[in-house]
Structure formats: structure tokens, C-alpha cells
């Protein structure tokens, strides 16, 4: 997958592109991520990329011309264009899976009070939000989108199935995790995890995931229960037990 990021602050993306999972995917040639500085397409002697909005109002708006120039430099007319915006649709599992199948995309990071609407309209940009709050710019949301989409691309994670197995992708929140030592400062791990009985361990994890999801994300649990599942006798017993518990 090739991702072009258009931003006023390309330096923010260097640590992300060179570190951890994304860094390894880039080094392996699975991902290509390039951050382009929008300011270099400004025709102002000071590389100005923003101006006051027509009609008045507070703040500044990114001008169309530098954005157009940046878009043309990455041949955006042949690619999926995304604009990170708090007024966009919330990024969710379905959208992440959809984007993971797109070979090339351009992510526009807004700043100030937004971007001249003509740039968004001309390049048919899809607006995407990561939540109902406002940040200082689109750079952090773009990183969230890139990271979440990259996890769905074959070869990026060590385990091809792990992206869909964990947390909300499986339909339930993830169960508690423990590692060595077995006892730390008087705190011991659940005995079942050292039993070697994998069936009982799986049932314990299932119960913990159900309980956590019921407590913290009842909306997820409701959606999970509306789906068809081939529960074993033991799993159904655990499910009935959890559902009877008071919230």
C-alpha cells in the first residue's frame, strides 16, 4: 500500500514511519508512506499557506492553491483522497477494513480552522473523524488512521489472524493479560493460567472478556449477542452467568 500524507508539518511523521510495526512494514516494502510539505507549493514569498476566511470569523483557513499543488504533485486524481476532519464520519472497523484494500491513498491533514472547501470538492475528498473532539491539526488523526489500516494489511503483523482476533474486532473487549513472574509484590496471577489446561484457560478468557464488555461497552456486547455464534455448552453457561450479574 502506498500512502501520501499532505501536511504543514511533515517532520511529525518521521518517527512514526521509522518506528515499531510501521517502520518494519516500510523497511519490508509492504508500506510506502511519504509526507509532503504543503507549504512548498505556496506562491507566497513567506510560504504562507493560510488566509482569513471570506465572510469573517475567527481563525485562519488553509488556502486552496497550495493544497491543489500538493495534490497534483502526488497525482491524487488517480487515488483515494481522505481529509481528516472532526465533521467526517467516525473511523470504525468497517471503514478500516475498506481502506485496507485500497492500494494507494492520499491523506490531507487540515490545520487552523480547516481547508478551503474548493480543494475538498475538486479532489472528492472523503472526510473521516477519529472522534467527537477537535485537535490542533489532522496529523495525529492521520497517524491513527494509518496505524489502524496498516494492521489489516497482510504481512504487517507477525500473526496474520491477530488483527481481527483482538479487542473490539472479535466483538468483545480483550481479557486481562499477565506475564512473568507469577507473583509480584504479593500480587499473583490467576491460577488457571498456569494449569496447562488450555480449554479451561480459553473459558476463563471468554468469561473475563464478557464481563469486561458488559461493564464497559454494553453496546458492543449487545451487537455481539445479535450475531450468530456456535457457543459450546460451557460457553453458554458462562454467558448466562454473566448476563445475570448486576452491572
Is 133 marked as binding a ligand? yes
Is 5 marked as binding a ligand? no
Is 110 marked as binding a ligand? yes
Is 22 marked as binding a ligand? no
Distance CA 4, CA 72 (A): 12
- Can you give the chain as a three-state secondary structure string? CEEEEEECCHHHHHHHHHCHHHHHHHHCCCCEEEEEEHHHHCCCCCCCCEECCCCCCCCCEECHHHHHHHHHHCCHHHCEEEEEEEEEEECCHHHHHHHHCCCEEEEEECECCCECHHHHHHCCCEEEECCCCCCCECHHHHHHHHHHHHCCCCCCCCCCCHHHHCHHHHCCCCCCCCCCCCEECCEECCHHHHCCCHHHHHHHHHHHHHHHHHHHCHHHHHHHHHCCCCCCHHHHHHHHHHHHCCC
Is 132 marked as binding a ligand? yes
Is 135 marked as binding a ligand? yes
Is 112 marked as binding a ligand? no
Residues marked as binding?
110, 130-135
Residues marked as binding for S-adenosyl-L-methionine?
110, 130-135
Amino acid at each position: 500500500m502506498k500512502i501520501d500524507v499532505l501536511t504543514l508539518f511533515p517532520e511529525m511523521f518521521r518517527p512514526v514511519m521509522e518506528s515499531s510495526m510501521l517502520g518494519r512494514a516500510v523497511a519490508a516494502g509492504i508500506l510506502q508512506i511519504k509526507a509532503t510539505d504543503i507549504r512548498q507549493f505556496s506562491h507566497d514569498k513567506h510560504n504562507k499557506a493560510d488566509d482569513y476566511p471570506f465572510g469573517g470569523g475567527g481563525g485562519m483557513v488553509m488556502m486552496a492553491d497550495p493544497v491543489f499543488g500538493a495534490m497534483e504533485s502526488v497525482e491524487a486524481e488517480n487515488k483515494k483522497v481522505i481529509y481528516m476532519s472532526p465533521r467526517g464520519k467516525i473511523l470504525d472497523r468497517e471503514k478500516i477494513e475498506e481502506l485496507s484494500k485500497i492500494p494507494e491513498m492520499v491523506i490531507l491533514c487540515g490545520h487552523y480552522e480547516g481547508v478551503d472547501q474548493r480543494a475538498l470538492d475538486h479532489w472528492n475528498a472523503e472526510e473521516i473523524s477519529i472522534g467527537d473532539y477537535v485537535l490542533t491539526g489532522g496529523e495525529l488523526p492521520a497517524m491513527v488512521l494509518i496505524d489502524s489500516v496498516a494492521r489489516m494489511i497482510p504481512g504487517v503483523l507477525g500473526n496474520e489472524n491477530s488483527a481481527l482476533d483482538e479487542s473490539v474486532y472479535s466483538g468483545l473487549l480483550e481479557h486481562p493479560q499477565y506475564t512473568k513472574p507469577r507473583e509480584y509484590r504479593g500480587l499473583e496471577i490467576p491460577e488457571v493460567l498456569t494449569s496447562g489446561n488450555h480449554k479451561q484457560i480459553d473459558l476463563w478468557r471468554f468469561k473475563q472478556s464478557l464481563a469486561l464488555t458488559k461493564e464497559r461497552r454494553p453496546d458492543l456486547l449487545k451487537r455481539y449477542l445479535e450475531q450468530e455464534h456456535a457457543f459450546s455448552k460451557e460457553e453458554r453457561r458462562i454467558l448466562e452467568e454473566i448476563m445475570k450479574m448486576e452491572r
